[in-house]
Structure 1
Amino acid sequence: MRKETPVSTSSAPVVRLVEVDAEHDGQRIDNFLLRLCKGVPKSHIYKAIRGGEVRVNKGRIQADYRVVAGDVVRVPPLRLPAAGEARPVPGSEFPIVFEDDALLVIDKPAGVAVHGGSGVSFGVIEQLRAARPEARFLELVHRLDRETSGLLMVAKKRSALLALHAMLREGKGDKHYLALVEGDWVNDRQHIRLALTKWTTQSGERRVRPDPDGQSAHTIVTLRQRFGRYSLVDAELRSGRTHQIRVHLAASGFPIIGDEKYGVDETRAQFARQGFNRMFLHAHQLTLPHPLTGEILRLTAELPPACRKLLQQLENQ
């Protein structure tokens, strides 16, 4: 347990001295404070760090400082929810695919961000923390785009988080997505190797494009089923770049149905008129060793009802 010592005994917000325990060893100070000060906006946390109000072992630190077990963190008075006040983040659980004392894997719905930021006040991780106030540690292992549904890993122990991050860096495990694309996919199996780079539009929107000087990226695409002018494909990630599957498929001439960034506007509008109002990209299968036991986990999240319904409509046309 973290040891907390208030500097004042008044009823007003007070400075707290918090000793870091072994469970949080190696965590960034900003994430440590966000977890400790539930409900406090990120902007307040970063302002307190920049202003020197947050100190570690009496010294100033930067937002990327990683705490060490035994560190004493000075937590300044921050705007915390009052006792009995409704949580600013609504607690929510999500369909659980796998859970033990180290790892939680959920089936994330489309349209829900994995975390707050970029105009979103909260996401999956904040809602899980609000729903599980007794949980001492909950951290995202990886990300899914807001409009992508399917398997999302959340670590319940720092040791599990570090082990999973190492696995992902080393390319261990298999991650498969299902995507409905525009066009008649030709090859049964195809490797797409296009380096990618991030850029920002004039409006400030984040995008990704193929770039020979960018980061290497590798996707293996396997045909699942043809529907005339559309194809259902399996996309296996062999690297984990931002928007990788979306950009690789679009650059190959097969944009994902419903993709607002890289898809075809007319096609998206056509499917929206039929009642399909999302991107057809779903994290379907995940196979990897358990981060602590080494046991092989084979996890599956079936296609959501809206996606299954659309495929049935295409079959009947």
Structure 2
Amino acid sequence: MSGVQRRRVKQDEDGVRLDRWFKLNYPQVPHALLNKLLRKGEVRVDGGRAKANVRLAKGQEVRVPPIKSDGEAIQAPTSVTPISAKDKAFLEGLIIYQDDELFVLNKPSGLAVQGGSKTRRHIDGMLESWGLELGVRPRLVHRLDRDTSGILVVARKRQTAADLGKLFATRSVHKIYWALVKGVPEPKQGKIDMALIKTGGPDGEKVRAARRGEEGAQKAVTHYSVIDTTGDAFAWVSLKPVTGRQHQLRAHMAFEGHPIIGDRKYSGDIAVPAALDQRLHLHARRISFQHPRGGIVDVTAPLPDELRQSFETLGMDPARYDEVGQ
């Protein structure tokens, strides 16, 4: 039959249920339509009929018939291009911790974690391409904003990604960020408990402080501690998010009147001093969590040169305070 696709089950799909495999590879296919195709025998595994709950094995062949949803043909997943030598060397150079289950990257500022309509080069795309060579697709476990530098955890295996995803969801992962902010927060240590809600705007998606009881509001809590200051002008703060909302740290500091230096989305018209780098001064400094196979993973990401130079310009020495705010 014209349009029939035959797909091999990959190593990191081994043990996945057939309906879950379809969700991963053909997310446009409604569950009801998949069940109909299975009942009619149009979807087959190694030539035989199969049920939605059958678990697939590496190397098996899944026959996918021509499928239409809402009158439109559903296309096969876009083929993945093998990773270039340049991108492979780039990713390997970002690794600051690795074992058989996962690795941790020190992501540079300005590089997106995932793609979008106008984003062609991003971490997730490079990982997918690298997976062709590795035989297993590395999977993102969490996210960082494009302009935030620092720690990004990547799972080597599907099950590891699922295990780590549960840790992040249950707030069992301890994260510390370093930031340079405008002014000096008072008191020097405290907790920001301010629910956030997503909103659109001329400069893209943002969050704002939610009103009490507002529909769609998400609880957001951040602990902060001032490490050093430059008079009353700037402060170096350690930020410990209890929750993990989009733009949480950036929004919380801005709403407290101490926006992060270089945050064009939340700092309004506050200009970055010419002597400082113009990028966002927010760095995912440290992470610790229970390893899925036992033991504790505890990783610290060195500051990028640009942020280190800003610290030094303001008379702050990160090397003297490596144990502070950790």
The 3 A distance-change label for structure 1 pair 78 and 187 is closer
Corresponding position of 1:69: 55
Identity, % of aligned pairs? 30
Distance verdict in 2 for CA 1:67–1:304, change over 3 Å: farther
1:141 is matched with which residue? 141
Deviation at 1:169, TM superposition (A): 1.4
| Counterpart residue type for residue 184 of structure 1 | V
Is the Cα–Cα contact under 8 Å of residues 97 and 106 in structure 1 kept in the other structure? yes
- C-alpha spacing 1:287/1:18, structure 2 compared with 1 (3 Å): same
Return the offset for 1:20. Answer: 4.1
Q: Is the 8 Å Cα contact of residues 4 and 63 (structure 2) preserved in structure 1?
A: no
Q: Secondary structure at the match of 1:286?
A: strand
Instruction: Answer whether contact 2:291 2:297 (CA < 8 A) is retained.
Output: yes
**Deviation by residue 1:2-53 (Cα, 9 ceiling, x = unmatched):** xxxxx88xxxxx74322546832266746446xxxxxxxxxxx86xx58x89
Q: Secondary structure at the match of 1:159?
A: helix
Give structure 2 stretches of 5+ with no counterpart.
44-51, 66-74, 317-326
- Cα deviation digits, residues 203-260 of structure 1 (max 9, x gap): 4710101103311011000111111200000000100100000001101111000001
Question: Where does residue 11 of structure 1 map in the other structure?
Answer: none
Alpha carbons of structure 1 residues 210 and 20: separation in structure 2 relative to 1, 3 Å: same
2:64 aligned partner, one-letter code = R
Contact 1:250 1:262 in 2 (8 A): yes
Residue 292 (structure 2) pairs with residue 303 (structure 1): no
Is the deviation greater in 92-101 or in 186-195? 92-101
TM-score normalised per structure 2? 0.74
Superposed displacement of residue 86, structure 1: 9.0
Does the C-alpha gap of structure 1 residues 78 and 310 become closer, same or farther in structure 2, counting only changes over 3 Å? closer
Counting only pairs closer than 5 Å after superposition, residues 262-301 of structure 1 correspond to structure 2 as: 262-268=266-272, 270=273, 273-274=274-275, 276-291=277-292, 293-301=293-301
> Is the aligned partner of 1:125 residue 2:124?
yes
Q: Over residues 155-182 of structure 1, what are the superposed CA-to-partner deviations in whole Å (9 max), with x where a residue is unaligned?
A: 1111111111111111112100001000
TM alignment of 1:1-317, pairs within 5 A: 15-18=4-7, 20=9, 23-24=12-13, 25=16, 29=22, 31-32=24-25, 57=38, 58=42, 69-70=55-56, 72=62, 74=64, 80=79, 91=88, 92-93=90-91, 94-135=93-134, 136-201=136-201, 203=202, 205-211=204-210, 212=212, 213=214, 214-228=217-231, 229-268=233-272, 270=273, 273-274=274-275, 276-291=277-292, 293-315=293-315
How many positions carry a matched residue from both structures?
276
- In 2, the alpha carbon distance for the partners of 1:67 and 1:225 equals 57
Q: For residues 90 and 254 of structure 1, do their structure 2 counterparts lie closer, same or farther at Cα, with a shift above 3 Å needed?
A: same
Q: Which has the larger radius of gyration?
A: 2
TM-aligned CA deviation for residue 98 of structure 1: 1.1
Question: Matches of 2:197 and 2:181 in 1, distance apart?
Answer: 22
Q: Which runs of 4+ in 1 moved over 6 A?
A: none
More off after superposition, 277-286 vs 257-266: 257-266
CA–CA distance in structure 2, aligned partners of residues 251 and 310 of structure 1: 23
Q: Which amino acid aligns with 1:215?
A: Q
Pair 1:234–1:73, CA change in 2 (3 A): farther
Distance across 1 between alignment mates of 2:287 and 2:95? 14
Alignment partners' CA distance in 2, 1:281 and 1:305:
13
1:105 touches 1:152 (CA, 8 Å); kept in 2? yes
1:136-166 per-position Cα deviation (integer Å, ceiling 9, x unaligned): 1211100000000000011111111111111
Contact 1:19-1:73 within 8 A present in 2 as well: no
Q: CA distance change for structure 1 residues 250 and 158 in 2, over 3 Å: closer, same or farther?
A: same
Deviations 1:265-287 (A, max 9, x none): 3423x3xx335121000000001
Q: Which amino acid aligns with 1:17?
A: R
What letter is aligned with 2:220?
Answer: A
- Label 1:306 to 1:56 Cα distance change in 2 as closer, same or farther (>3 A): farther
Structure 2 vs 1, CA of residues 208 and 152 (structure 1 numbering), >3 Å: closer, same or farther? same
Deviation for aligned residue 1:311: 1.0
Structure 1: tracts of 5 or more residues without a match? 1-6, 9-13, 34-44, 60-65
Task: Give how far 1:120 is off.
Answer: 0.7
CA RMSD of aligned residues (A): 3.2
